Amino acid sequence: MSRTVPVHPVRALSALCRTFGPKAARQKRVQLERLGATRRLSAAQLVAAQETLLFLLAYPDDPALLAAARAVVPRLRAWTDAARAGSAAALGDTGLPGSAMIDTYGFPLLARLTRLFPGALEIDWDEAPDTGKLQAAVVQLLHGAEVPGLDDITLEWDDWFAVGRSDARQRDLELLLELFTRAPLSPTEREWRFDGCELPVRWQLDAAGSARSELLWLRARPHFRRRAPTRSMASFAALVRRPLADPGRLARAAGQRFVDFAAAALAVRQSEIRPLSYGNAEDVTLVECGTGLIVALIGVVPGYREALESLYTVLLLQNGVPIAYGPASVSAGCCELGLNLFDEFRGVETRHLYAQYLRVVHHVLGARYFFLTPYGMGAGNPEALRTGSFWFYRRLGFRPTNARVETLARAEEQRLARTRGARSDLKTLRRLADTAAYLDLSGARCQPLPLGRIGLAVTRRLTHAHGGEREPGLRRDVAAVRRALDLRTPLPRAALELLAPLLALDPELARRPRRDREALGRFLRAKSAPSEVGADAQLAASTSFLSALRRAATPEPL
């Protein structure tokens, strides 16, 4: 008589976690108890356990299940310690507690991570492909009399760092960051030079609160799922338009904690986006969207903002668990999309999550027209092709800008309707991806600005309008804009210098109606305010200026 071998609790939980209801909740609790009693897990089981536990924390059935999942999470660190002794390499880049991440992080993120987790990050010299780039950069940071110490071929980098550190506990990476921080470089040049070194950094996740399962924002009352999420039958556009509760902007101290949390939560998943590298503690908005979902918007500090775009990092939290992120770049009422769901949360309620993402950007940042580039549709993007990105967005109501693609899509829809279970082949998906796509909630009043051509128009003006004298020409543009807009109250110089060449593209600026010039003045002030929320509303209201920008961006021979 054969004996039935019980299913391993990790496998059982992975199969159960997306099933809801009283029976499923009881089964999950049984398997969590079994998992908690397990002595060892393999590397593959550890990865699956972490993903499943995060899902259970994000979508718990009831308080008892949430408590059971939270009780098992600390066991991940003990299991990882045991597995690391035999297969440390298999645990790399998993984000498990006690494991290591290796990546070439950017300067601002490394500065933040070394502050949050002192001693946990170090240059991985064994993985560094070429230290010549590092030497070329460091030479420019030192006093001339120090340079022979680097040029001496009989000395290793270890020798130099041993002498250069002021504290024996200081890591090589911390010393290097300190040198770059103290160097008389602009922030942009500092970032560019450091990133050019292409240094692999090893982040050891030994500190409590540094692993994926530990980087949670547990500030709100949890929401419980008594049944499986159901798909709303309301139109997607109606979901986006649905009013929001008053969004809550965090005070500066809480905002700083959230920016740090968000940066670490993405870094431990090997995700890094530039707007978050310069996240603004004074511009953090958390919006509660119901069912335990929080959509967070993080602005950019003044001095790193874009001229015509209000650029925000979006982070979605389900019961405090990060489940998705992306940028929101809003300009003249238009927003380019880019939401990335973490693998373990895909396919649960994707339509709902996208609706809430757009809903927050619509109500808080004023976007009324949403669009994706061909890359988002799958052009040059194998992952988007594989997942059928075109059809996902089409079902949400997005339409292609390419008329030929629209004709192909309608014909393909008819073909698919005739054959049950039919799918578009890869060749067809590639043809469908040859387009941008949009969802217009503005009644055709918004249209994306041609930002690339506007940038060329600014270059053309700075190069030719002032006889090739760029810096004197920029000063003259700043002065002219001050007069045209009657700017009597002081504005930060950086904001004026960033925006003056754009405003100067409008030859009628000084003769525009007062209401238009006052709106532009408010736009300038909003771009340099602690929070950038509201800046794009002022830009969108400056219709005559936007028309002038479009005329200036008309293609000319290069």
Q: What is the 3-state secondary structure (H, E, C) of 510-556?
A: HHCCHHHHHHHHHHHHHHCCCCCCCHHHHHHHCHHHHHHHHHHCCCC
Check whether 1 has a pLDDT greater than 50: no
Reported as a single tens digit per residue, the pLDDT across 504-550 is: 999 999 998 888 888 888 899 899 899 999 999 999 988 899 999 99
Domains and CATH numbers, the chain: 9-89 (no CATH), 100-204 (no CATH), 236-440 (3.40.630), 451-552 (no CATH)
Tokens at residue 365, please? Answer: 């940042």
| Beta-carbon count within 10 A of 35 CB | 23
Give residue 14's pLDDT.
Answer: 94
Query: If pLDDT is split at 50, 70 and 90, which confidence band does 58 have?
Result: very high
Query: Distance between CA 106 and CA 312 in Å, rounded?
Result: 18
Per residue in 440-473, pLDDT (tens digit) is: 999 999 999 999 999 999 988 888 877 778 888 8
pLDDT at 3: 60
Whether 558 shows a pLDDT value over 60: the answer reads no
Q: Is 310 helix (H, G, I), strand (E, B) or coil?
A: strand
| pLDDT tens figures, 384-442 | 898 889 999 999 999 999 999 999 999 999 999 988 888 999 999 999 999 999 999 99
Task: Please write the tens of the pLDDT for every residue from 161-207.
Answer: 888 888 888 899 999 999 999 999 888 899 999 999 899 999 999 99
Rg of the Cα atoms in the chain: 27
Residue 113: which of 204, 45, 47, 241 has the closest Cα? 204
Q: What size, in residues, is the chain?
A: 558
Cα gap 336→493, rounded to integer Å: 29
Q: Which amino acid is at 177?
A: L
Q: Name the token pair of 75.
A: 């066991």
Which ranges constitute the DSSP H helices of 307-420? 350-365, 374-377, 382-386, 389-396, 403-418
* 11 pLDDT above the threshold of 90: yes
> What are 233's two structure tokens?
């039958």
| Measured CA distances, 268 to 28, 117, 130, 282 (Å) | 27, 12, 25, 24
366-380: average pLDDT: 94
**Does residue 466 contact residue 476 with C-beta atoms inside 8 Å?**
yes
The per-residue pLDDT for range 36-49, each reduced to its tens digit, is 999 899 999 999 99
Question: What order of strands is seen across the sheet that includes strand 100-103?
Answer: 100-103, 201-204, 121-123
Read off the pLDDT band of 219 (50, 70, 90). Answer: confident
pLDDT beyond 80 at 492: no
- Please give the mean pLDDT across all residues of the chain: 90
Residue 498 CA to residue 492 CA, distance in Å, equals 10
Q: β-pairing, 399-400 with 437-440?
A: antiparallel
- pLDDT confidence bin for 133, thresholds 50/70/90: confident
Q: Rounded to two decimals, what is the model's pTM?
A: 0.93
